[in-house]
A and B are shown apart, each in its own frame.
Chain A
């Protein structure tokens, strides 16, 4: 019973490049959540998605960040034109529909040089 999977685990990008982070939810889960953990700070909610729908993106920066969860395939968090301040650990979590208990993935650590 595979848990939540994220890849890559580590990603290095130069300023101005694009970063794509992938999250495959647990089997049977159709809700995905993305969180960001900045150095020395707590986790912060970014976005909540269901298949093909963005439910709540109130935590997403207004520019350069986007997320999707297509009908087939993983959820993608996309950061365009990365800056040093985007360096952080990005975690996704998934939940089912009977309870909203969230199961977290191992995270992607993004470093912008």
Chain B
């Protein structure tokens, strides 16, 4: 079993829909990251969080340390949000080594 599991693997939505991507992990962590990767493109860091909730524009990330679970929400989704969203954790005791989920491919149709 992978230490970081994401669901769903693939997600298709209509423009304007509210999107939720989930991430569960099985190890102790010091922080969790959400990353975005466009097809054939580079990786952009969206959030780094260790507790609570963060918001940036239409993106919201939450984490529940007790339940070892994080969610990434996108409000009013747009076709330009189409990308792979990757959850990654910094294991406790290591503040640099990231362990990644396999990613969620989001397609937002106009």
- Given A91-B42, A104-B44, A48:B97 Cβ within 8 A: yes
Q: Nearest CB to that of A91 among chain B residues?
A: B43
Minimum C-beta distance from A72 to chain B (A): 23
Asked whether any CB of chain B lies closer than 8 Å to the CB of A31, the reply is: yes
Cβ-defined contact, B42 with A104, below 8 A = yes
Contact of A107 among B42, B45, B97, B103 (CB under 8 A): B42
| Residues on B facing A (Cβ under 8 Å) | 33, 35, 40-45, 48, 86, 88, 90, 95-103
Q: Nearest CB to that of A6 among chain B residues?
A: B42
Cβ-defined contact, B42 with A102, below 8 A = no
C-alpha spacing A52/B102, complex, angstroms? 32
Cβ-defined contact, A104 with B45, below 8 A = yes
Contact of B96 among A41, A44, A95 (CB under 8 A): A95
C-alpha spacing A41/B42, complex, angstroms? 16
Asked whether any CB of chain B lies closer than 8 Å to the CB of A25, the reply is: no
Please name all residues of chain B whose beta carbon is closer than 8 Å to the beta carbon of A101 when the two chains form the complex: 45, 48
Contact of B102 among A35, A41, A100, A105 (CB under 8 A): A41
Cβ-defined contact, A107 with B43, below 8 A = yes
Please name all residues of chain B whose beta carbon is closer than 8 Å to the beta carbon of A93 when the two chains form the complex: 43
Q: Mark A71-92, 1 if CB is under 8 A from B, else 0.
A: 0000000000000000000010
Contact of A102 among B86, B98, B103 (CB under 8 A): B98
Q: Mark A34-54, 1 if CB is under 8 A from B, else 0.
A: 010000011111001000000
Cβ-defined contact, B45 with A43, below 8 A = no
Please name all residues of chain B whose beta carbon is closer than 8 Å to the beta carbon of A100 when the two chains form the complex: 90, 95-96
